[in-house]
Amino acid sequence: MSKQPVWIRRRWYFDRVCRWIIVITFVVFFTSCLNHGTLDIQPRDARIALGESRLFRALIAGREATVRWTASAGSISSEGVFTTPNQPGVVTITAESESGFGSREQVNVTVTPSVSSVTISPLEPALLVGERLPFSSVVTGRGNPAQGVKWSASAGVMQDDGNFIAPSQPGVVTITATSLEDSRRSAQTTVVVRRAVGGLEVIPAQVRLTVNAVQGFEARIAGTDAAEVRWETSGGTITVDGRYTAPTAPGVYTVTAISLDDPTQRAASSVTVTDPSIALEVSPSNVILEAGSTLSFTANVSGTSDTRVIWEVSAGTITANGVFTAPSTPGIVTVTASSLIDPTRTASTTATITSAASLQGLLFHDVDADGSRDNLEPALAGWRVYLDLNDNGTLETNEPNAFTDRTGVYTLPSVPSGTFTLRHDLKPGYASSHVATQRTLLRPQVVGGTPATAGEQPFMVALLDSRINDPFAAHYCGASLIAPRWILTAAHCVFERGAVLPPSAVQAALGVTRLEGALSRSGIRRIVVHPQYNPSTDDNDIALLELETASSLQPVALLEPDQTALAAPGSNATVMGWGALSAGGAYPRDLQRATVPITTTEDCQAAFGSRVTASMICAGMPLGGVDTCQGDSGGPLLVNTPSGAPLFAGATSWEKGVRNPANPACTLEPHPLRHGSRRSWDAELRPHTPSR
Contacts of 444 by beta carbon, 8 Å cutoff, 6+ apart: 577, 579, 628, 629, 630, 631, 632, 633, 635, 652, 654, 655, 666
Q: When comparing pLDDT for 598 and 173, which is higher? A: 173
Instruction: Give residue 349's pLDDT.
Output: 93
User: Annotated catalytic sites, by residue?
Assistant: 492, 541, 633
> Are residues 678 and 618 in contact, defined by beta-carbon separation less than 8 angstroms?
no
Count other Cβ atoms within 10 Å, centred on residue 298.
Answer: 12
Count other Cβ atoms within 10 Å, centred on residue 33.
Answer: 10
Instruction: Look over the chain and give the mean of its residue pLDDT values, rounded to a whole number.
Output: 79
Q: How confident is the model at residue 663 (pLDDT cuts 50, 70, 90)?
A: very low
CA distance 77 to 84: 12
pLDDT per residue as tens digits for the range 9-35: 666 666 777 777 776 766 555 555 544
Going by their DSSP bridges, the two strands 39-42 and 67-71 should be labelled as: unpaired
pLDDT per residue as tens digits for the range 549-571: 999 999 999 988 888 888 888 88
CA distance 368 to 399: 32
CA distance 245 to 165: 44
Instruction: Give residue 529's pLDDT.
Output: 92
Instruction: Give residue 143's pLDDT.
Output: 55
Sign of the Cα torsion 438, 443, 447, 453 reads negative
Degrees, nearest 5: CA angle 474-480-482: 140
CA distance 18 to 29: 16
Instruction: Give residue 468's pLDDT.
Output: 79
Q: Answer yes or no: is pLDDT of 623 > 50.
A: no
CA distance 107 to 73: 13
CA distance 667 to 596: 12
Distance, CA of 90 to chain centre: 59
> Are residues 135 and 148 in contact, defined by beta-carbon separation less than 8 angstroms?
no
Q: When comparing pLDDT for 82 and 32, which is higher? A: 82
CA distance 159 to 164: 6
> Are residues 324 and 295 in contact, defined by beta-carbon separation less than 8 angstroms?
yes
The one-letter code for the residue type at 680 is S
Q: Answer yes or no: is pLDDT of 128 > 90.
A: no
CA distance 656 to 570: 20
How far are the Cα atoms of 127, 198, 613 from residue 168, in angstroms, in the given order?
11, 16, 103
Q: Answer yes or no: is pLDDT of 191 > 50.
A: yes
The pLDDT of 180-188, averaged and rounded, is 84
Q: How confident is the model at residue 156 (pLDDT cuts 50, 70, 90)?
A: very high
Percentage of the chain lying above the pLDDT 70 cut: 77
Going by their DSSP bridges, the two strands 186-194 and 126-128 should be labelled as: parallel
Count other Cβ atoms within 10 Å, centred on residue 65.
Answer: 20
- Tell me the range of 9-23, 43-57, 221-235, 615-629 where mean pLDDT is highest: 43-57
Instruction: Give residue 276's pLDDT.
Output: 86
pLDDT per residue as tens digits for the range 509-556: 998 888 887 788 999 999 999 988 888 777 888 999 999 999 999 999
Residues belonging to the chain? 692
CA distance 656 to 612: 12
pLDDT per residue as tens digits for the range 247-305: 988 888 999 998 887 777 888 999 988 888 889 999 998 887 878 889 999 999 998 88
Is 0.85 topped by the overall pTM?
A: no
CA distance 9 to 114: 77
Q: How confident is the model at residue 361 (pLDDT cuts 50, 70, 90)?
A: confident
pLDDT per residue as tens digits for the range 480-511: 999 999 999 988 888 876 788 999 999 999 98
Percentage of the chain lying above the pLDDT 90 cut: 30
